[in-house]
Amino acid sequence: TQLLEQSPQFLSIQEGENLTVYCNSSSVFSSLQWYRQEPGEGPVLLVTVVTGGEVKKLKRLTFQFGDARKDSSLHITAAQPGDTGLYLCAGTRGYALNFGKGTSLLVTP
């Protein structure tokens, strides 16, 4: 069973549009992380959220951790082609990070 469910799986939008992707679980996490991965490369950390209800901003990206620490969202404002990639959320289970299946985002000019 998948510990972290991400939606949507695929998203294709035009430059300038806004979007939100979601990461949901039935389990409580002490923290959740968001990574971005480009084709043929390893994932790179964008942010870690720790406190329930926490909101973090990274330029045009806004990350929110649910109050119950079971879910998180990533909102991108005015998407650009450079935002194209696979967005993965991850939570700690035992000794290692467990990842969702990701949201594949394509932003076209």
Within 19-38, the residues that bind other proteins by CB under 8 A are 30-31, 33
- Residue 105 makes contact with other proteins by CB under 8 A: no
| Interface pattern 75-104 for other proteins (x via CB under 8 A) | -----------x-x-x-xxxxxxxxxxx-x
If DSSP codes are grouped into helix, strand and coil, which group holds residue 39? Answer: coil
Question: At a CB cut-off of 8 Å and minimum separation 6, what does 76 contact?
Answer: 18, 19, 20, 60, 61, 62, 83, 105
Residue type, 35: Y
Contacts to other proteins by CB under 8 A:
2, 6, 30-31, 33, 39-45, 48, 86, 88, 90, 92-102, 104
